[in-house]
Amino acid sequence: MKILFYGSAGEEKEYLENKIKELNITIDAIFLPEALKAGVIPPASDAEILSVFVDSVVNRETIQGMPNLKCIVTRSTGFDHIDLAAARERNIVVSNVPSYGENTVAEYAFALLLTLSRKVHLAYDRIRETGSFSQQGLEGFDLAGKTLGVLGTGRIGRHAIKMGKGFGMEVVGYDPYPNQELAGSLGFTYVSLDELLAKSDVLTIHIPYMKATHHLLNEAAFGKVKKGAYLINTSRGAVVDTDAMVRALQSGILGGAGLDVLEEEGIVKDELGFLVHGHPNAENLKIALENHILVDLPNVVVTPHNAFNTKEARQRILNTTLHDVAGFIAGTPKNIVEQHE
């Protein structure tokens, strides 16, 4: 069975080739380094399986130009770059990578929190810029005994809960669809959003961006936050009203913020694009940040949407992709996207 891997080169191509041999998947793999552009008919148009990243476009014209195509595997969670209607008309199976970075993102959230709680960034800058080993002004605070408020208790949120418990923190959670069995097994309590804001010493956001969550943390919400709380956002920038957050930081309502995402990014389709190709809006964000008060605040740490960026996360993406391929060949397709719509 012939498969085309678009957008695959270098170390990734080598990893896939070795893994295909290791898993003993009987396929004729063709690797193309570029993304698949809309309407392009691949040179090996007789391929039965097509694998792409989120930066490729698999539209009706491409699908119609591949008469033997039976399966499309996207190496991403998102799949809006694929014409699902055209695929269904041909009974083409479409599979994705439902998840690949739950613990990865939660770990990064705590990396931001620990940077702020122990003023690691300030200590590092002091030694690097002045050579001073003075500890003056670098007093931090313990996480043990503090209350962690987790907004969103899905795949990433539950890892954050486990980590918070590991640090000896009390944990409260907010989710529009509370899972009481999860709360019992992990030892945390569900509360209303208002109660979570009022109780939490640290707020960490792990909810998706959608119309209902746009500016969920706005001026009114920050008015309910426990004074001096720290905000960690590795989710989506637009969940937080930036202007309201800046005012909360300046007034002392927030003690600090660790931000891996910014509202200026717009709506991000999938982190995988960042992992593979870098940030598409890097220059615009640089200009925005240069004029942004956030970068001048000593109690704020900003990073470039980097929470997903680990070697293991990349490998999980590729491993899941090959398991999707193997499953389809065996007649038991996995991670069919209709199950995730």
- Give the active site residues: 236, 265, 305
CA atoms within 13 A on the CB side of 110: 20
**Rg value, the chain, Cα:** 22
Burial class (CB within 10 angstroms; exposed 0-12, middle 13-18, buried 19+) of 188:
buried
What CA–CA distance (Å, rounded) separates 148 from 160? 9
Residue 119 carries which side chain, given as an amino acid letter? K
For residue 318, which of 2, 4, 13 has the smallest C-alpha distance? 13
Burial class (CB within 10 angstroms; exposed 0-12, middle 13-18, buried 19+) of 161:
buried
Distances from the Cα of 42 to the Cα of 10, 19, 46, 48, 92, angstroms: 20, 24, 9, 12, 17
For residue 260, which of 314, 315, 221, 309 has the smallest C-alpha distance? 309
Residue 239 carries which side chain, given as an amino acid letter? V
